[in-house]
């Protein structure tokens, strides 16, 4: 799609007026402008993963939409507490700051967009909280109940995080990397300077083709199959593209001499074993021209303790069992609802509460 | 030359109705006009009328004596005699509830609008819209629909930059490369917007959060999120709580507009799209 910029200065750059004005008057708080969507790595987050809205969600479920909206407006000046994606977003901003230092003219930066089903009535409260935490979120879509898919595409979204698994599923079906996030009681402290992203292998970075064999024919057949096809790259999974863009940014840091202390670090955390089936995973990554900084082959052992050592800002897995295991030990884990590991979608209850939410 | 007026049996009491004037050229396709008795083909914005009628139906359902409804009047500029009767018959053919038809010359249409207390003038023609705004007639762009199937909701879109940008930024717009004409258009659009927003706001309140036939949307392209917040609060102060809000921070707005598919767009005049209809084409 050839996108035209609607507004241009005489220099031909698109811009954001307020930020431009700040630059011109050289105030101490110089606010950077948002990159063009096609240049940026766009991360779309819903309001419930950015901020904790458990109280409000409960009001919606118990008393309905009108009461929920009234509550939000009445509490407009009250701050939200951080949600599950908050520390991940802060880490993205830390990476951006370092990228801007090294490449001041480049627009290859993370751009965080608020993509929510919420009604615009909640807008002022959300903006107040974003201002308070000094988050660099300048773009948002409050769709008032409509599907976000069209807007995700319009922003060339590289990753979509939401509390609503139905929307996440829809996004994945449309080829957009996406994962569901949950509020957790326990959250470990994570780095404020180095972004750490951990990925499961099968059905996340890779397709679920091998997982199917394991689930339908058992572990032995799985090993046999993987050995026989060791040199055949696996097909790609929904998060491959996101690993790819992270790799691209990493190389920008390497190019300026920051290999050892790169502000982005990636991990493969897989149930495959190093001795056998792991080989195919690594060869596949190599065939794609990708790599992770560390590859951890757990041979079926629980992932929680390993993740607690790594302390990633986010961990992607297709199986709720691993997500829960990770969360129990304080890791922020996001579920990728893709492939054979998914149970059938839950039957709708009478009042359709599961599919009904004011905000995602 | 006095404007020609034809009234149909559909004339309603004006009173507090939202008298909305629409150009014939937008509702019907006047280019391929046959001399036979077949009705005119549907125009670029035909589905707008259906959406408006759906809103009216719902308003009356809630309250049979509802005075605040859309009253659509049709404006024809420089129409030949045979076209006039074709327009009248076509409206009847499609079951359009149009109260009045005004035919006038191009130079007189603003005066015609003013004389008939049009609370809103809609056109796909930017020049017509800004001409009306400069004369103090509330006017907005009527958007082409990507396809002619009836949309479920009437979508009314407001520019957040228009409502939320502070006065000193507006004065400094020329420093950002906007032309004098664009700035004039901006000020004209700003001058007329409050009353319209208030009326739409009141109409919107007749319906609940869900399942409303009328949807209100705010889109901020240039201003920051604080400009968007200011616009939201300002509209609330005028009586309109918008349903959807978008803040683009300089991102191209066409892809977003294409997804939204608005009918009415109260624009800020800053977007240089002379001769180009407001989007609706996926290839743009």
Q: What are residue B70's DSSP bridge partners?
A: B18
User: Does the residue A46 lie in any domain?
Assistant: yes
The number of CA neighbours under 13 Å toward the Cβ of A102 is 19
Global pTM value? 0.88
User: Does the residue A155 lie in any domain?
Assistant: yes
Instruction: For residue B76, give every residue at least 6 positions away whose Cβ sits within 8 Å of its Cβ, in sequence order, or none.
Output: B23, B24, B25, B83, B84, B87, B101, B102, B103, B104
What is the extent of the structural domain holding A21? 3-181
| Among the partner residues A7, A124, A150, nearest to B222 by beta-carbon distance | A7
| Among the partner residues B177, B227, B282, nearest to A18 by beta-carbon distance | B227
Rounded-to-integer distance, Cα B268 and Cα B190, Å? 7
Per CB-CB distance under 8 Å, the chain B contacts of A37 are 251-252
Is the domain of A222 the same as that of A74?
Answer: no
Is the domain of A204 the same as that of A292?
Answer: yes
Walk me through the domains of chain B, giving residue ranges and CATH numbers: 4-142 (3.40.50), 154-283 (no CATH)
**pLDDT per residue over B124-133, tens digit each?**
989 999 999 9
Q: Is A200 a catalytic residue?
A: yes
- With an 8 Å Cβ cutoff, are A69 and B209 in contact? yes
Closest CA to A262 of A274, A272, A275, A249: A249
Report how many helices (DSSP H) and strands (DSSP E) chain B contains, helices first: 10, 12
> CATH no. for residue A227?
3.40.50.1000
Question: Could you identify the residue written with the tokens 């906007």?
Answer: B178
Which of A157, A181, A205 delimits the end of a domain?
Answer: A181
**pLDDT score at B230:** 96
Rounded-to-integer distance, Cα A239 and Cα A168, Å? 12
Is the domain of A255 the same as that of A163?
Answer: no
User: Does the residue A264 lie in any domain?
Assistant: yes
A37 Cβ under 8 Å from any chain B Cβ: yes
> CATH no. for residue A35?
3.40.50
User: Does the residue A167 lie in any domain?
Assistant: yes
**pLDDT score at A34:** 86
- Kindly state the average pLDDT of the residues B261-268: 92
Rounded-to-integer distance, Cα B163 and Cα B180, Å? 19
B234 Cβ under 8 Å from any chain A Cβ: no
**pLDDT score at B5:** 57
Rounded-to-integer distance, Cα A198 and Cα A298, Å? 14
Is the domain of A45 the same as that of A176?
Answer: yes
User: Does the residue A228 lie in any domain?
Assistant: yes
**pLDDT score at A28:** 42
- Kindly state the average pLDDT of the residues B183-190: 91
| Residue numbers of A between 122 and 181 with CB closer than 8 Å to B | 123-124, 127-128, 130-131, 137-146, 150-151, 153-155
Is the domain of A158 the same as that of A216?
Answer: no
Q: What are residue A347's DSSP bridge partners?
A: none
Interface test with A, best of B252, B269, B274, B279 (most A CBs within 10 A): B252
**pLDDT per residue over A204-232, tens digit each?**
999 999 989 988 999 899 999 999 999 99
Is the domain of A175 the same as that of A212?
Answer: no
Return the minimum-mean-pLDDT range out of A302-311, B2-11, B96-105, B154-163.
Answer: B2-11
Examine the predicted complex and report whether its ipTM is higher than 0.90.
no
* Domain count within chain A: 2
Q: Which residues of chain A have pLDDT under 50?
A: 1-15, 18-29, 344-355
């Amino acid at each position: 799609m050839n996108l035209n910029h609607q507004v241009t200065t005489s220099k031909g750059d698109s811009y954001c007026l307020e930020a431009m004005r700040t630059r011109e008057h050289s105030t101490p708080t110089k606010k950077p402008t948002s990159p063009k969507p096609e240049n940026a790595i766009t991360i779309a987050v819903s309001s419930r993963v950015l901020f904790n809205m458990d109280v409000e969600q409960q009001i919606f479920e118990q008393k309905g939409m009108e009461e929920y909206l009234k509550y939000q407006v009445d509490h407009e000046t009250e701050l939200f507490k951080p949600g599950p994606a908050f520390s991940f977003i802060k880490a993205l901003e830390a990476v951006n700051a370092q990228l801007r230092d090294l490449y001041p003219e480049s627009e290859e930066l993370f751009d965080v967009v608020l993509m929510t089903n919420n009604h615009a009535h909640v807008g002022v409260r959300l903006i107040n909280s974003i201002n308070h935490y000094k988050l660099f979120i300048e773009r948002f879509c409050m769709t008032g109940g409509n599907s976000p898919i069209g807007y995700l595409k319009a922003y060339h979204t590289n990753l979509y995080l939401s509390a609503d698994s139905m929307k996440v599923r829809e996004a994945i079906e449309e080829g957009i990397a996406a994962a569901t996030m949950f509020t957790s009681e326990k959250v470990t402290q994570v780095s404020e300077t180095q972004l750490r992203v951990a990925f499961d292998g099968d059905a996340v970075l890779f397709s679920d083709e091998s997982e199917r064999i394991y689930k339908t024919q058992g572990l032995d057949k799985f090993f046999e199959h993987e050995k026989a096809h060791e040199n055949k790259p696996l097909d790609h999974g929904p998060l491959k593209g996101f690993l790819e863009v992270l790799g691209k940014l990493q190389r920008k840091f390497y190019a300026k001499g920051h290999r050892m202390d790169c502000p982005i670090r990636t991990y493969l955390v897989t149930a495959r074993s190093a001795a056998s089936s792991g080989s195919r995973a690594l060869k596949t990554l190599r065939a794609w021209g990708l790599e992770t900084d560390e590859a951890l082959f757990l041979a079926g052992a629980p992932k929680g303790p390993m993740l607690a050592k790594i302390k990633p800002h986010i961990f992607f897995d297709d199986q709720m069992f691993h997500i829960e295991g990770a969360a129990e030990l304080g890791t922020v884990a996001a579920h990728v609802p893709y492939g054979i590991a998914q149970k059938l979608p839950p039957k709708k209850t009478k009042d359709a509460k599961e599919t009904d939410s004011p905000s995602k | 030359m006095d404007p020609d007026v034809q009234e149909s049996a559909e004339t309603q009491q004006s009173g507090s109705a939202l008298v909305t004037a629409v150009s014939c050229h937008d509702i019907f396709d006047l280019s391929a006009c046959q001399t036979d008795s077949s009705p005119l083909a549907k125009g670029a914005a035909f589905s707008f009328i259906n959406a408006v009628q759906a809103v009216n139906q719902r308003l009356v359902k809630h309250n049979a004596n509802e005075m605040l409804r859309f009253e659509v009047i049709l404006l024809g500029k420089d129409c030949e005699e045979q076209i006039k009767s074709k327009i009248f018959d076509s409206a009847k053919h499609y079951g359009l509830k149009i109260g009045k038809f005004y035919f006038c010359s191009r130079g007189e249409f603003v005066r015609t609008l003013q004389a008939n207390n049009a609370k809103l003038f809609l056109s796909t023609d930017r020049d017509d819209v800004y001409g009306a705004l400069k004369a103090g007639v509330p006017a907005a762009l009527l958007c082409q629909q990507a396809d002619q199937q009836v949309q479920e909701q009437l979508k009314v879109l407001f520019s957040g930059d228009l409502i939320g940008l502070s006065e000193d930024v507006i004065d400094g717009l020329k420093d950002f490369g906007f032309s004098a004409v664009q700035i004039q258009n901006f000020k004209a659009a700003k001058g007329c917007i409050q009353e319209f927003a208030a009326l739409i706001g009141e109409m919107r309140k007749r319906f609940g959060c869900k399942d409303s036939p009328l949807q209100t949307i705010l889109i901020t392209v240039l201003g920051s999120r604080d400009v968007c917040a200011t616009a939201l609060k300002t509209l609330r102060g005028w009586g309109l709580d918008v349903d959807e809000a978008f803040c683009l921070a300089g991102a191209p707005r066409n892809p977003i507009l294409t997804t939204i598919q608005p009918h009415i767009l109260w624009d800020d005049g800053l977007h240089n799209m002379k001769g180009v209809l407001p989007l609706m084409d996926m290839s743009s």
